[in-house]
Amino acid sequence: MAYGTMPSGTDFVVSDFGNQTVSPAAPLYSNAPLTYPCSGLTGVQRENLIAEDMPPYINGSPAKNAPDSWGTPIVVEANVTDTVRLTSVSVTGPSGAVAVSFYDSSDDPYSFLIPSEAFAIANAPLAATTTYSVVASGTINGTPFTRSFSFTTGN
């Protein structure tokens, strides 16, 4: 996942949720799932401002839930041989709960998401220079997990 700003000043995000049929073998993580943003990360891009012809759709609903802008994606990644399922994701800032939508491969009718990855998206841009707490719960191969972490947005 990459975020950046074009010379014109337009922000962009590139998300690659993986294609293991053409990628080299990934390392195994004993502490899976891993998350992005990483715990304690600062300067996290707070919104995506890419105008798209059509919004990305997952399970018949707009994944971003906003016309041209949404908050930073939160990625949960297990080992490539695992299957991750999200059961809940909460994001909380100083003003309270942030509305998020979350997805895993079971929600993807187009099979773009691989089973080992899932993500949540804040339904609106996040506030600048603000710390958010995340609690993501689900299963990996049927075994429950919970990850709690915080990150701080940039300007």
Domain boundaries, the chain: 2-17+31-152
CATH topology of domain 2-17+31-152: Immunoglobulin-like (2.60.40)
143/97 Cα distance (integer angstroms): 27
Q: What pLDDT, on a 0 to 100 scale, did the predictor assign at position 111?
A: 79
Q: CB atoms < 10 A from the CB of 47, how many?
A: 21
- The amino acid sitting at 18 is G
**Rounded mean pLDDT, 17-31:** 62
Alpha-carbon distance of 63 to 73, in angstroms, equals 11
Length of the chain: 155
pLDDT at 108: 77
**pLDDT class for 107, splitting at 50, 70, 90?**
confident
pTM, entire model: 0.73
Distance of alpha carbon 121 from alpha carbon 108, whole angstroms: 15
What is the token pair recorded at 112?
């773009």
Residue 106 dihedral angles phi and psi, to the nearest 5°: -70, -15
